[in-house]
Amino acid sequence: MHNSKITGVGKYLPEKIVTNFDLEKIMDTSDAWIRERTGIIERRFVNPDIETTSYMGAEASKKALKMAGLKPQDIDFIIFATLSADYFFPGAGCPMQIHLGIPGIGAMDIRNQCTGFLYGLATADQFIKTGMYKNILVVGSESHSAGLNMTTQGRDVAVLFGDGAGAVVLSATDEKNKGILVNKLHADGTYARELCVINPGSFTHPIVSHKDIDEGTIYPYMNGKYVFKHAITRFPEVILESLESAGLTIGEVDLVIPHQANQRITEAVQIRLGLPKEKVYSNIHKYGNTTAASIPIAMTDALEEGLIHDNDLISLASFGSGFTWAASLLKW
Ligand code: ACO
């Protein structure tokens, strides 16, 4: 059986920067409120004429491929995590193939919101470990700005999210004790309605109506306090679970890269794990919450900042809509 390891990472962020002060002009909010409650200073929004979710995924993938020293034609399979695909269907992995010029290989979308990237990574890991594929692109990409209520009514959610993409190349390796050591995946649909977008969805018939648009059920709903409470419990729980099954302890982790949900969540997790601030990565101030894209973007930034070294023990973790939560442990 092979191991799988990340051989390339890459990110793509739209050029357009939207600061908290820009949001103040279109809704009743303030830079101080957003910074204090979320840690976010600015985020990126797409140019919708060019930067579709699949386009951004392809651009991030090109950078990951370059780092891995591979061509698009070397990729055997695509796993694309997003909640904001170009179309309601098909998934964004299909149009991304075309941007990369590799039609024909398998492409699968994963709809697990903030944990989508880690569900994708775990799936790719299994395909590689069983010998089915050698090189897989695992992509997270989101165009949130197309689906947010950018008025005072939607401010509790709209100020949190930003657009962008991140990607990794996961490759087979025969090196021992290298690459992905453990994946832990969880979900509890009891809480499906606490963080969701109802329409378009077949829960209603038809999937979307003028009434749904008027009532705003096409926009994300979040029970913020509930999400906060569950996130700060599940993040540490799943990180410790992954360490335990690898026979490792939190003290051995070099860097935790959590899904960038909210700085207050990240700080609460860091305190609960008893870690110093510098061992829990954060870049939410620059990009906001980019859902499925946040972990691969954060990995790329952490690498560029010199925070990841050969043989480091890296813990990736996420919590989000579903509720779903997950962790992967890697030896870099
Ligand atoms: N600007 C200004 N005021 C706002 C805004 C805004 N953007 N949004 C809400 N408010 C107001 C509310 O209307 C409320 O006003 P009121 O007291 O007059 O009724 C007041 O601020 C406080 O609202 P609360 O909901 O009580 O604010 P809270 O202190 O709970 O903070 C927050 C809200 C930041 C969302 C918090 O619940 C939180 O941190 N939740 C975690 C959820 C989260 O960050 N999720 C990330 C996305 S999901 C994921 O990735 C897992």
What is the DSSP annotation of 261-277?
A: S-HHHHHHHHHHHT--G
Protein residue closest via CA to atom 42 of ligand 1: 224
pLDDT reading at 10 higher than 80: yes
Looking at the chain, which runs of residues are DSSP E strands?
3-12, 17-19, 42-44, 77-81, 106-110, 135-142, 164-173, 179-187, 195-196, 221-222, 255-258, 313-320, 324-331
- The pair of structure tokens assigned to 197 is 């977008």
Cα 188 to ligand 1 centre (Å) = 23
| Test site for ligand 1: of 29, 33, 37, most ligand atoms within 8 A of the Cβ | 37
- DSSP helix, strand, coil percent of the chain (3-state; round to 5): 40, 25, 35
Protein residue closest via CA to atom 35 of ligand 1: 224
Catalytic residues: 114, 259, 289
Protein residue closest via CA to atom 9 of ligand 1: 156
Mean pLDDT of 166-192: 96
- Locate the ligand 1 atom nearest the alpha carbon of residue 259 and give its number: 50
Whether pTM > 0.85 for this model: the answer is yes
Please name the helix (run of DSSP H) or strand (run of DSSP E) that holds residue 246, with its range, or none: none
Percent of the chain having pLDDT more than 90? 99
Domains (range + CATH), the chain? 3-173 (3.40.47.10), 179-331 (3.40.47.10)
Across all residues in the chain, what is the average pLDDT? 97
pLDDT reading at 329 higher than 80: yes
- Locate the ligand 1 atom nearest the alpha carbon of residue 319 and give its number: 51
Confidence band, pLDDT 50/70/90 cuts, at residue 2:
confident
Mean pLDDT of 210-214: 95
> How far is residue 308's CA from residue 137's CA, in Å, rounded to a whole number?
20
Mean pLDDT of 87-92: 97
| pLDDT given at position 176 | 87
| 245-298 residue pLDDT tens | 999 999 999 999 999 999 999 999 999 999 999 999 999 999 999 999 999 999
Q: Is 198 in the pocket of ligand 1 (CB under 6 A)?
A: no
